[in-house]
Structure 1
Amino acid sequence: MTRQILPQVETLATHQRSEAWRTDAAQSLDHPILFWITRGQGRIMVDCRMRGIGPNTAIFIPPHTLFSYEMFASPQGMVVSLPRDDTSGLPRKPALLKASSVQMQSEITGLIDALSRELGELRPGQRRAVMAYVMMLGVWIDRALTGQPQGELGKSERVLQKFSHVVSIGHRDGKSLGEFAADLQVTPTHLTRLTQNAVGKPASALLQERVIQAACEALLHTDRPVQDIAEKLGFSSPAYFTRAFQAHTGKSPSAFRKTR
């Protein structure tokens, strides 16, 4: 995926339609993303931790964080795809925040609306203005975090968090689940039990979903041959890659590429 230069603001519905990969499958981005849910119910998985979400909820996802989400009941909201800029002051950890007061709701809505307007008008100083709004969103998140307790992770949750991280950044290494488990100093059976209990999926499914997401992005955003993509993602042959890709997406890699 190409790195974000300027933020992108879109409605939740538009974002869901434009997704290359299913939103309910494990994915990871190389830039931060902020969801602002104003209507509807759903659930989100972040670092193999499942949480319920409802109206007036903000979810901040840093780069290289494994997540997925499902929304129900005619959801509405905004999605801000943010640039990866270490000077923007955005948090380094995921955050799920309930905006309980009208003031908090008005502030984040106003910031997103102002950012969207600035992006829609080509004016002198646009980049500085845009980054100022991004920094203010970071301030809003920091302030919201101070009013919500952050509990300590247990041993199992720490293992799942580490697994999420290594899958997010190491999915292209062609490692087996056993190798990932060994790096975490647990058995594949134990790791699978943890993910099954936490998110209802075996660890192998989360790993494969992340690999398929990477394949979708490569097919849509590059002209690399299918054989090269298969090799880079650790598949033993293009035929095996095609079978796995079609099983998850319902299309062959070539047919999927034609949808871009």
Structure 2
Amino acid sequence: MKVIFLDRMERFKSKDKNLYCSAAHNAIEGLILDAFSHVAKEDVNKDIQFEYLHYTNRFKVLLQRDYKEFKKVSHYANELNISSRKLTEMTEYILGKTAKQIIIEKIVDESKKLLQYSDYTISQISYELGFTNEGNYTNFLKKHTGKSPSMIRRYAVAIRS
């Protein structure tokens, strides 16, 4: 397993520094979440900060799994059996951001990765990320980044050149 992981990281490193950093970040975050799943439940219940951390980490795992299909806080709150308001309270306490902001950041980050590192058309990316059409996707990105998908792609290509 160690060899596979190291080989995978080396492939990312040889392709692009940003891709390598992103892969390393995701790998480390995954290891932390795996370790957290082994903490005894009674220890989780001792401290409100620990409980908030627990739910926030579970939310991030669910978001990684579901962000393409579900973009509403209510979905994740229902999966965690808590209210949307409680989930937002927890993420604000732990991460300093609302649950909605975290969902938006995830979609924007994944958009940028696909625009920079894939050969997909903007239309293909919009459908890959669960948008009903390219126009909705373009409007979403403009609203949250101030740039259209084609501007983000051109900028990424210019930087790599």
**Common fold, TM-score beyond 0.5?**
yes
For residues 97-122 of structure 1, what are the alpha-carbon distances to aligned partners after superposition, in whole Å with 9 as ceiling and x for unaligned? xxxxxxxxxxxxxxxxxxxxxxxxxx
> Contact 2:131–2:137 (CA<8 Å) still a contact in 1?
yes
CA distance in structure 1 between the partners assigned to 2:56 and 2:116 by the alignment: 30
- Count residues with an aligned counterpart: 132
For residues 51-100 of structure 1, what are the alpha-carbon distances to aligned partners after superposition, in whole Å with 9 as ceiling and x for unaligned? xxxxxxxxxx62565xxxxxxxxxxxxxxxxxxxxxxxxxx227xxxxxx
Matches within 5 A, 1:51-70: 62=27, 65=30
CA distance in structure 1 between the partners assigned to 2:67 and 2:29 by the alignment: 11
CA RMSD of aligned residues (A): 2.7
> Contact 1:192–1:202 (CA<8 Å) still a contact in 2?
yes
> Contact 2:9–2:24 (CA<8 Å) still a contact in 1?
no
- The residue number in structure 2 matching 1:93 is 32
- The residue number in structure 1 matching 2:147 is 251
SS of equivalent to 2:60: helix
- Aligned residue among 177, 182, 191 for 2:87: 191
CA distance in structure 2 between the partners assigned to 1:175 and 1:248 by the alignment: 14
Matching of residue 157 in structure 1 with residue 53 in structure 2: yes
Higher helix content, 1 or 2? 2
- The residue number in structure 1 matching 2:128 is 232
> Contact 2:92–2:98 (CA<8 Å) still a contact in 1?
yes
Amino acid at match of 1:193: E
> Contact 1:64–1:169 (CA<8 Å) still a contact in 2?
no
CA distance in structure 2 between the partners assigned to 1:63 and 1:166 by the alignment: 17
CA distance in structure 1 between the partners assigned to 2:106 and 2:12 by the alignment: 24
Structure 2 segments unaligned to the other structure (5+ residues): 1-7, 34-42, 45-49
Structure 1 segments unaligned to the other structure (5+ residues): 10-14, 20-27, 34-60, 66-91, 95-151
Matching of residue 201 in structure 1 with residue 136 in structure 2: no
TM-score, with structure 2 as normaliser? 0.69
**1:168, CA displacement in angstroms?**
2.4
For residues 191-236 of structure 1, what are the alpha-carbon distances to aligned partners after superposition, in whole Å with 9 as ceiling and x for unaligned? 0111122222110110110011111111111121212211221223
Residues 252/191 of structure 1: CA separation in 2 closer, same or farther (3 Å cut): same
**1:7, CA displacement in angstroms?**
6.3
Matches within 5 A, 1:10-159: 29=22, 31-33=23-25, 62=27, 65=30, 92-93=31-32, 153=44, 154-159=50-55
Amino acid at match of 2:27: P
Larger radius of gyration: 1
Higher strand content, 1 or 2? 1
> Contact 2:115–2:152 (CA<8 Å) still a contact in 1?
yes
Residues 62/246 of structure 1: CA separation in 2 closer, same or farther (3 Å cut): same
